[in-house]
Structure 1
Amino acid sequence: MTNRYSLKLAHINDTHSHFDPSRVQFLLSHEQQSYEVYSHSGGYGRIGYQVQQARSQAADAGQDFLFLHGGDSFQGTLYFNQFKGVANADLLNRLAPDAMVLGNHEIDAGNQPVKQFLDTINFPLLAGNMDLSQEDPLKQDRLAGHPKLFNYVPEHGSAKVLLKPLGDRQLAIIGITLDQMKEIARPDEDTHFANAIATTANTVAKLKAQGIDHILVLSHLGWDKDKELAKEVHGISLIVGGHSHTLQGDFSAIGHNALPYGYRVDNTPILHAGKYAETLGLCDLEFDDQGLVTTLAGHNYFMLDKHLLIEGEQEVTAATYDALKQQLVTHPGILWDDELTEINQVIAQRYRPAIDALEHQVLGFVPKNLIHTRLPSKALPHGSEIAPWVCKSIYHETRNLDIQVDFALHNAGGVRQSLNKGTVTMADILGRLLPFALPLVKYRIQGRYLYQTLESAINSATNNSITGTGAGSFPYTYGLKYCYDGRQPLGARILQLEILTEIAGEMQWHSVMPDRLYSGVSSAYTASGKEGYQALLSAEQQESIEALTLPQAFIRFMQREEGLHGVMPPHVLYTSHLDGH
């Protein structure tokens, strides 16, 4: 006789410090008319309530229950900027997940915040391919041996495994994160990440040899890599993932495209739950005694305000409002705004007052909209209108500390959005424009490496003859202006490179000489050679500017200038390799 093993599962991922409900939009139709429906969804209070309900239902039904987080709790909102990981750890403890996998944003600022997080949380943090075997045993923020961390076991090439009861068997949970962590985050130098697929394969084989067949991978690899993992490694019962902000479920009737919930690759279902704590995945699973998922019934759920804001070309009558709301009421992926008041009270009393203060702290005035785009385009031939101002602020505020620099260089992805005309608050900068509190680094570098850096970063951003890491690597500058032609051969695409030089008290543009040394300032992320900036590692010296972070430089500049005034001359002349094709 085949036994059936039943599990109720709740899952979230990429919550990025969105403790409050997030604004969401749906597109609904009624009597041949389209309507935009706005509401707020999710947040920790609502998620807490739904998880509590699911946990009670599982207990009543005699089911095992699991609540998992697919990584990237850090970054994202003013709450993180203000409280770092402290609020995240506190509020996640109140949600009480059974486990979380390490996301790349947890390690944006090195290992120290991970250590502080581990010291505070009441649940295990899984990072089964995080290799700490070369970690300095004397370092202050040592992670190796931490009782809450399930990391890599190099002797076996496998992950430490979390075991949970599943009927009369055990369910093994393997946490696997991105193995390109050094390219996209900032782990300490002595911290390495083993190959995600190989580590999973070795761990699954080890578990099977021990007679454990029910194996769940909690992954922070992203949708495409999860599909590859399911295809490459046989014997995984289920993958619960994150990183790619993938929404699953049937939401087409309310204007959201999403992948099927529980999508299978070679009999392994994959589950993701969107982003920003807007949605919660809930499902009932049955496994056979070989570990195969035989039934999966569930959905991702929005958790909406009971009051909706509806806009349409026609007047929205009471009858139309009721009809549209009824469509949401009957939708299989909609829950409402029931919440745990104790979580909301903690947010309101302990954390929100500091955020409200930032919303009211005005830094200055911006006389026109400054659009942020990562790449130049026909509409914006010189690219972003705000990124050069960020570079100008880094340049001037570094010089104001009596640190001599010739130029500032910053990547497009380090600026998160446009800045609208009008007053600009501290919250606009810290919460939206520059949410990553990256340290600044000064370096001395030969001119030849500046040519290489700019070309490599642009090639990486545009996939011009190399496989890039995305448009976020596109370089913006101040005190340095360049002309790039992507149609030219590799190594000859920077046609002109000039630097702003002070001669007899006057600022003049001069060609960058390959053998001459120049002083630059960039964020620690860019200066570490990631995303096409590897030539910066050829700098003769790099030193961290302890007194200044990227957002602090912009804030100080805005306060001193009382806004962003005057004309910013273009520093980028760009011709795409696609032009003329």
Structure 2
Amino acid sequence: MTVIYSCKLAHINDTHSHFDPNRIHFNFEHKDKALSLHTHSGGYSRLAFQIEKARQQALDDQQSFLFLHGGDSFQGTLYFREFKGKANAHLLNLLKPDAMVLGNHEIDAGNGPVLSFLNNIDFPLLAGNMDLSQEDIGKTTRLRDHKNLLDFDPQTQTAKVLLKPLQDKTLAIVGITLDQMKEIARPDPDTHFVDAIETTQRTVDKLKKQGIDHIIILSHLGLTQDRALAQQIPDISLIIGGHSHSLQDDFTQFGLPYLPYGERVNTIPILHAGKYAETLGIADIEFNAEGRVTLLNGHNYFMLDKQFMLESAQGVATDDYAWAHAQLSAHPSILWDDEAANIRQTIDTLYRPTLIALEEQIINFVPKNLIHTRLPSKALPHGSEISPWISRSIYHETRILDETIDFALHNAGGVRQSLAKGHLTLAEVVGRLLPFDLPLVKYQIQGRYLYQAIESSINHATNNSVIGTGAGSFPYAYGLRYFYDGRRPLGQRITQLDILIQEEHHSKNQQESWKPVNVDHYYVGVSSEYTASGKEGYQALQQAKWQRPISELSLAQAFIQFMQKEQDLEQTLPLQVHYTSHH
């Protein structure tokens, strides 16, 4: 008789300190009317309820149960800004994950916050390609040999592995994270990340020799690299991922793009669960004795408010609400707002009061939704609608301090979400929109390196003939406009690069005009410290003649100050991104 090995799996990723339900919106078409539905989904108390329900169902059905986190618990909201990871550890402990993989945002501020997190969690943190063999043995933030960390084993050149029982077999969970960590985060200089695919291959080979065939890769590589992992290493049973914020499942009727849940590459299923604790993946999985997944049934679930708002330019009628509720109720991936009361009480009593004062400080009014997308698309051919405002704020606020500033340049990943119509609060800016509050740096740089930096950062963002680090590197500017054609050869893709010239006239009014960037001329720019340090394709900025920190201003402060001057967000900014894909 064929033995079936059954497991119920719950998974989340890229939760980014979104402990409360997150604002979302869906778009419908009904009776030739475009409807926009605004509601909230997820949050830790709703996650906890559904995870515990799944855990109990597995127990009742005599299944193994696993709950895994695909990395990037840190950053994202005021909870992280105020509590620096302590709330993350506490609340994750209450959710009781079996393991979490290290994400790049866990190590944004060096190894210290990772150590604090490790000291406070009740579950293992997996980082199987993080090599600590050269770590300074006397440092106060030493991670090596920590009881809660499964890192790289330099003797065997493999990942340390979490083993779990699966009926009469052993299930191995291997945590693999980005090997480009030094480019996109700030690990300590003595902390290294070795090749993700090679480490996975060696680890899988070792496990197979030990007779372990059921192998789950818990990955923080992003969906594209997960596909490469599956293509190159056929003995993997299942990949559970994060980093790319990929929401799998069919939500096309709500206006969201379609990605199949449990997409198979080389017969290996890959599972991702979106972002910001808005959705929870739950799957029933069956393996054969050789470790292959023979059956996978599951969904990513939204956990929605029972009450919601509807908007339409054509007006909203009572039957529209009933119709929309029926659409949601009938969808297999929609759950409602049941929550674990103990988690809600913990958040509300220990953490929430600190945030309330910031949420009451209104700095502007947003007259329409401003969408943030990292890359240009058919719907938004010039890319993000909010990133140009952020670049403009950096430019103008820095020019108050230094009139020699010619341009601002910022990466899309530093902006974390869209802005919804309504009051813009201090909490919204520092907690959600610009949670990293990066220092600003001004620099003097030759025009030739601006060409290089902009092309290289776009190539990195689009995996366009290079190994990219993710769409977060895509450049947005103010005072610079560029024309990029990905169909052209490397080094020739910026077909036009212009700089905005401020000209004084006899009337004392300033006029602005665009002039081509001269490759030999020097210009003064301002960027976040992260971008100016040459991360994610911006290496050419390291060729600056000089770089100087701006101690009086940070990224978030610049945007807040600029917005407090009653900027008219109805205004259309001059187009500064002109992008042609390589496809």
DSSP 3-state at the match of 2:55 = helix
Residue 158 of structure 1 corresponds to 158
Which amino acid letter does the alignment assign opposite residue 225 of structure 2?
Answer: K
Measured against aligned partners, the alpha-carbon deviations of 1:284-342 in whole angstroms (never above 9, x if no partner) come to 22322222223333322222333454567673349x72x65455445432332221111
Matches of 1:134 and 1:159, distance apart in 2: 16
Measured against aligned partners, the alpha-carbon deviations of 1:505-561 in whole angstroms (never above 9, x if no partner) come to 9999999887787665421211121243211212355455566431123334555xx
Relative to structure 2, which stretch is displaced further, 411-420 or 199-208?
411-420
Which amino acid letter does the alignment assign opposite residue 315 of structure 1?
Answer: A
DSSP 3-state at the match of 2:136 = coil
- The alpha-carbon distance between structure 1 residues 326 and 291, as it changes in their structure 2 partners (threshold 3 A), is same
DSSP 3-state at the match of 1:188 = coil
Measured against aligned partners, the alpha-carbon deviations of 1:226-247 in whole angstroms (never above 9, x if no partner) come to 2221221122121111222333
Residue 553 of structure 1 corresponds to 558
- The alpha-carbon distance between structure 1 residues 373 and 7, as it changes in their structure 2 partners (threshold 3 A), is closer
Which amino acid letter does the alignment assign opposite residue 145 of structure 2?
Answer: G
Matches of 1:450 and 1:512, distance apart in 2: 9
Which amino acid letter does the alignment assign opposite residue 17 of structure 2?
Answer: S
Whether the 8 Å CA contact 1:240–1:272 is kept in 2: the answer is yes
- The alpha-carbon distance between structure 1 residues 154 and 427, as it changes in their structure 2 partners (threshold 3 A), is same
Q: In the alignment, is residue 119 of structure 1 matched against residue 119 of structure 2?
A: yes
Where structure 2 has 5 or more consecutive residues not aligned to the other structure, the ranges are: none
Residue 477 of structure 2 corresponds to 476
Measured against aligned partners, the alpha-carbon deviations of 1:111-150 in whole angstroms (never above 9, x if no partner) come to 3322222222221111111222333334332322222221
Q: In the alignment, is residue 411 of structure 1 matched against residue 413 of structure 2?
A: no
Residue 532 of structure 1 corresponds to 537
- The alpha-carbon distance between structure 1 residues 520 and 197, as it changes in their structure 2 partners (threshold 3 A), is same
1:359 Cα offset (Å): 2.1
Which amino acid letter does the alignment assign opposite residue 88 of structure 1?
Answer: N
Whether the 8 Å CA contact 2:26–2:254 is kept in 1: the answer is yes
- The alpha-carbon distance between structure 1 residues 168 and 405, as it changes in their structure 2 partners (threshold 3 A), is farther
DSSP 3-state at the match of 1:203 = helix
RMSD: 4.5
Q: What does 1:121-140 align with in structure 2 at a 5 Å threshold? A: 121-140=121-140
Which amino acid letter does the alignment assign opposite residue 239 of structure 2?
Answer: I
DSSP 3-state at the match of 2:229 = helix
- Structure 2 length as normaliser, TM-score? 0.81
Residue 335 of structure 1 corresponds to 335
- The alpha-carbon distance between structure 1 residues 409 and 135, as it changes in their structure 2 partners (threshold 3 A), is farther
Whether the 8 Å CA contact 1:93–1:121 is kept in 2: the answer is yes
Whether the 8 Å CA contact 1:364–1:423 is kept in 2: the answer is yes
Residue 78 of structure 2 corresponds to 78
DSSP 3-state at the match of 1:68 = strand
Whether the 8 Å CA contact 1:5–1:167 is kept in 2: the answer is yes
Relative to structure 2, which stretch is displaced further, 379-388 or 165-174?
379-388
DSSP 3-state at the match of 1:74 = coil
Residue 315 of structure 1 corresponds to 317
Residue 228 of structure 1 corresponds to 228
Which amino acid letter does the alignment assign opposite residue 475 of structure 2?
Answer: F
Matches of 2:246 and 2:484, distance apart in 1: 36
Q: In the alignment, is residue 523 of structure 1 matched against residue 522 of structure 2?
A: no
- The alpha-carbon distance between structure 1 residues 422 and 56, as it changes in their structure 2 partners (threshold 3 A), is closer
Matches of 2:250 and 2:521, distance apart in 1: 60
Matches of 2:392 and 2:250, distance apart in 1: 46
Relative to structure 2, which stretch is displaced further, 35-44 or 145-154?
35-44
Relative to structure 2, which stretch is displaced further, 467-476 or 381-390?
381-390
DSSP 3-state at the match of 2:291 = coil
1:44 Cα offset (Å): 0.8
Matches of 1:492 and 1:299, distance apart in 2: 42
1:360 Cα offset (Å): 1.6
Relative to structure 2, which stretch is displaced further, 283-292 or 133-142?
133-142
Matches of 1:238 and 1:367, distance apart in 2: 45
1:397 Cα offset (Å): 5.8
Whether the 8 Å CA contact 2:376–2:384 is kept in 1: the answer is yes
Relative to structure 2, which stretch is displaced further, 454-463 or 38-47?
454-463
- Structure 1 length as normaliser, TM-score? 0.81
Matches of 1:68 and 1:434, distance apart in 2: 27
- The alpha-carbon distance between structure 1 residues 374 and 220, as it changes in their structure 2 partners (threshold 3 A), is closer
Which amino acid letter does the alignment assign opposite residue 110 of structure 2?
Answer: G
1:204 Cα offset (Å): 0.6
Whether the 8 Å CA contact 2:455–2:484 is kept in 1: the answer is no
1:170 Cα offset (Å): 1.7
Matches of 1:28 and 1:418, distance apart in 2: 19
Whether the 8 Å CA contact 2:11–2:280 is kept in 1: the answer is yes
Work out the number of aligned pairs and report it. 572
Whether the 8 Å CA contact 1:366–1:563 is kept in 2: the answer is no
- The alpha-carbon distance between structure 1 residues 131 and 331, as it changes in their structure 2 partners (threshold 3 A), is same
- The alpha-carbon distance between structure 1 residues 338 and 146, as it changes in their structure 2 partners (threshold 3 A), is same
- The alpha-carbon distance between structure 1 residues 305 and 370, as it changes in their structure 2 partners (threshold 3 A), is closer
Whether the 8 Å CA contact 2:152–2:158 is kept in 1: the answer is yes
Measured against aligned partners, the alpha-carbon deviations of 1:159-198 in whole angstroms (never above 9, x if no partner) come to 1101112223221100112223333333333333222221
Measured against aligned partners, the alpha-carbon deviations of 1:470-508 in whole angstroms (never above 9, x if no partner) come to 485325245xx5776869983985666577799xx9999
Which amino acid letter does the alignment assign opposite residue 537 of structure 2?
Answer: G
Residue 44 of structure 2 corresponds to 44
Matches of 2:308 and 2:420, distance apart in 1: 27
DSSP 3-state at the match of 1:270 = strand
Q: What does 1:216-295 align with in structure 2 at a 5 Å threshold? A: 216-251=216-251, 256-295=256-295
Measured against aligned partners, the alpha-carbon deviations of 1:396-448 in whole angstroms (never above 9, x if no partner) come to 76687x88974553224134567789864312421344232212234455565
Matches of 2:6 and 2:371, distance apart in 1: 51
Whether the 8 Å CA contact 1:128–1:177 is kept in 2: the answer is yes
Q: What does 1:480-495 align with in structure 2 at a 5 Å threshold? A: 490=492, 493=495
Matches of 1:376 and 1:150, distance apart in 2: 38
Relative to structure 2, which stretch is displaced further, 118-127 or 328-337?
328-337
Whether the 8 Å CA contact 1:24–1:39 is kept in 2: the answer is yes
DSSP 3-state at the match of 2:216 = strand
1:205 Cα offset (Å): 0.5
1:84 Cα offset (Å): 3.2
Whether the 8 Å CA contact 1:153–1:160 is kept in 2: the answer is yes
Whether the 8 Å CA contact 1:375–1:474 is kept in 2: the answer is no
Measured against aligned partners, the alpha-carbon deviations of 1:39-70 in whole angstroms (never above 9, x if no partner) come to 43221111101111222222233322111011
Whether the 8 Å CA contact 2:358–2:426 is kept in 1: the answer is yes
DSSP 3-state at the match of 1:234 = coil
Which amino acid letter does the alignment assign opposite residue 106 of structure 2?
Answer: E
DSSP 3-state at the match of 1:179 = coil
Measured against aligned partners, the alpha-carbon deviations of 1:6-51 in whole angstroms (never above 9, x if no partner) come to 2221111122222122344456788998866554322111110111
DSSP 3-state at the match of 2:259 = coil
DSSP 3-state at the match of 1:283 = strand
Whether the 8 Å CA contact 1:12–1:281 is kept in 2: the answer is yes
Whether the 8 Å CA contact 1:44–1:277 is kept in 2: the answer is yes
Which amino acid letter does the alignment assign opposite residue 409 of structure 1?
Answer: A
Whether the 8 Å CA contact 1:370–1:419 is kept in 2: the answer is yes
Whether the 8 Å CA contact 1:406–1:500 is kept in 2: the answer is no
Residue 191 of structure 2 corresponds to 191
Q: In the alignment, is residue 215 of structure 1 matched against residue 215 of structure 2?
A: yes
Which amino acid letter does the alignment assign opposite residue 435 of structure 1?
Answer: P
Matches of 2:270 and 2:368, distance apart in 1: 45
Structure of greater Rg: 1
Whether the 8 Å CA contact 2:129–2:193 is kept in 1: the answer is yes
Which amino acid letter does the alignment assign opposite residue 234 of structure 2?
Answer: H
DSSP 3-state at the match of 1:199 = helix
- The alpha-carbon distance between structure 1 residues 346 and 364, as it changes in their structure 2 partners (threshold 3 A), is same
Matches of 1:511 and 1:311, distance apart in 2: 44
- The alpha-carbon distance between structure 1 residues 178 and 396, as it changes in their structure 2 partners (threshold 3 A), is same
Matches of 2:79 and 2:476, distance apart in 1: 29
Measured against aligned partners, the alpha-carbon deviations of 1:202-240 in whole angstroms (never above 9, x if no partner) come to 101101111111111111222232222122112212111
